Amino acid sequence: MIQALLVDDERLALMKLKLMLEELTTVNIMGSYTNPVEAVSAASQLQPDVIFLDIDMPEMNGVQVAEAMQSLCPGTSIVFVTAYNSYAVEAFELYALDYVLKPVRRDRLLKTIQRLEERFGKEEGSVKKPEHEIMIRSFQSLRFERAGQPLPAIRWRTSKAQELFAYLFHNRNRFVSKDSLIELLWPDFNLKRASTHLYTTIYQIRQSLKQADIGLQIGSASGGEGYTMETGSMLIDSYEWEKGILTLGPINAENCEKHQRLFYFYSGDYLNDYDYLWAESERQRLRTIWLHHAMGMAEFFTAGGRIPEAVTVYQRVVQLQPYFEQGHLGLMKVYDSIGERSAIEEQYQYLADLLKRELGVDMPDNIKTWYEEWKQQHFKSL
């Protein structure tokens, strides 16, 4: 049972969230507060598993409350509840487990609860995984590993079978209704024909998994009105990676190597090889975490004079996220610190061409200004 504390100065929003969570049998509400000061005091005594925390509050904003909670309840997860996407990056700076946007949707809340269940379930059962344990990888594309060795790629009978499997994986360990699957994959078919395609595709997926000796269970639920994919003890790459970042804490000399392993573990955006619009929210969330983690590493290496390692981090950032302008600027600044003038010019021109060719936009003003100032200093020194 997950022990939760709720904090929101809007009483109606607090009541709605409380009701939504109380519908779930795996969550127990230890307390709900409209006063953040009272909530901080209660949290230190109650030590909940998770605190659902509104960011925009008058007396103390959620970020300030979270900072206080981090010191008083180091083992507690923070889930920010916000009406503004812009708070996401700041939330992850505090290593929040997740954030959900207002008005809170039940399906989005269920994903948060799943992350909490996975986190606390794995922490409680901290037994070493057997060597034959399967890992499902979802960074860049879906694939499987057993004991660290890649398994042959599954050949799905149809593109619909591949997307149906991916969607069930995306919603793993949760009920997915038959109606939602039909609406997603066969919206233009009548119900009878769509249902036939759904049943056939589910059968094909089960057969493909069986032939590949992958013990994923896709069970019917609610009297055949939907399905649930049970991953059991299988490892999920995105979860293991995110858990590693959340538990490792800020980078320092002692944990630097572990941070580097996590940095390279991210091999591409979530399900990036597939054009699935329903995956975009999770793709963006994980990408935000990775970029924040990467920039923190690069700054750590730069501050410590470990320039080659900083260059390597920035180069990987612009390789995987070519439109992330701050990665390019960081790389140019590192090149400047070691006098690589030609590398700066090449990087600047590469970014300018990329933005103009792919997006039809000009160089951002902050990068243009930095470059012009750098050129002036450079020519003065000649």
Cis amide leading into 36 (omega within 30): no
Six token digits for residue 297: 């590493």
Number of structural domains found in the chain: 3
Backbone angles phi, psi at 321, to 5 degrees: -130, 75
Tell me how crowded residue 66 is: count the other CB atoms within 10 A of its CB.
24
3-state secondary structure of 230: strand
What Å distances lie between residue 318 and 46, 300, 347, CA to CA?
44, 18, 10
Assigned domain for 205 exists: yes
- Structural domain contains residue 260: yes
Same domain, 30 and 159: no
Judge if 223 and 327 occupy the same domain. no
Query: Do 222 and 348 share a domain, yes or no?
Result: no
324 assigned to some structural domain: yes
Q: Is residue 302 in some structural domain?
A: yes
Domain endpoint, select from 161, 196, 230 = 230
**Structural domain includes residue 320:** yes
Record the tokens describing residue 59, joined without a space. 């007396």
34 domain residue, yes or no: yes
Residues 373 and 242 in one domain: yes
The domain spanning residue 103 has which CATH number?
Answer: 3.40.50.2300
Report the C-alpha dihedral over residues 7, 13, 14, 16, rounded to 10 degrees. -140
Query: Do 258 and 368 share a domain, yes or no?
Result: yes
Residue with tokens 């609610």: 222
Q: Is 249 helix (H, G, I), strand (E, B) or coil?
A: coil
Q: Residues 242, 314: one domain?
A: yes
What CATH number is attached to the domain comprising 147?
A: 1.10.10.10
| Whether residues 263 and 328 fall in one domain | yes
230, 265, 281 - which closes a domain = 230
One domain, residues 11 and 112? yes
pLDDT of residue 123: 45
Domain boundary among 62, 97, 121: 121
> 380 is written with which tokens?
């003065």
- What DSSP state is assigned to residue 151? P
User: Of the candidates 75, 323, 118, 70, which has an alpha carbon nearest to the alpha carbon of residue 241?
Assistant: 118
Q: What angle do CA 239, 111, 98 make, to 5 degrees?
A: 65
Looking at the fold, whether 11 and 98 belong to one and the same domain comes out as yes
What are the C-alpha distances in Å from 109 to residues 52, 54, 135, 169, 344?
11, 14, 25, 17, 45
Write out the residue range of the structural domain in which residue 22 sits: 2-121
pLDDT per residue of the chain (382 residues) written in tens, 0 to 9: 889 999 998 888 898 898 888 877 688 899 999 988 888 888 888 889 899 988 877 767 777 787 778 768 877 888 888 876 655 555 555 556 777 888 888 888 888 888 888 777 644 433 334 446 899 999 999 999 988 888 999 989 999 999 999 999 999 999 999 999 999 999 999 999 999 999 999 999 999 998 898 988 898 877 778 999 999 889 999 999 999 988 888 899 999 999 999 999 999 999 999 999 999 999 999 999 999 999 999 999 999 999 999 999 999 999 999 999 999 999 999 999 999 999 999 999 999 999 999 999 999 999 999 999 999 887 665 5
Bond prior to 103 in cis (omega within 30° of 0): yes
Q: What is the pLDDT of residue 380?
A: 61
**Is 129 part of any domain?**
no
Determine the Cα–Cα distance for residues 53 and 62; give it in Å rounded to an integer: 6
Q: Are residues 139 and 217 in the same domain?
A: yes
CA gap 188, 83 in Å, rounded: 34
With respect to residue 65, please indicate whether it lies within any of the assigned structural domains: yes
**Are residues 75 and 47 in contact, defined by beta-carbon separation less than 8 angstroms?**
yes
81, 146: one domain: no
List the CATH number of the domain containing 246.
Answer: 1.25.40.10
Question: Do 162 and 69 reside in the same domain of the chain?
Answer: no
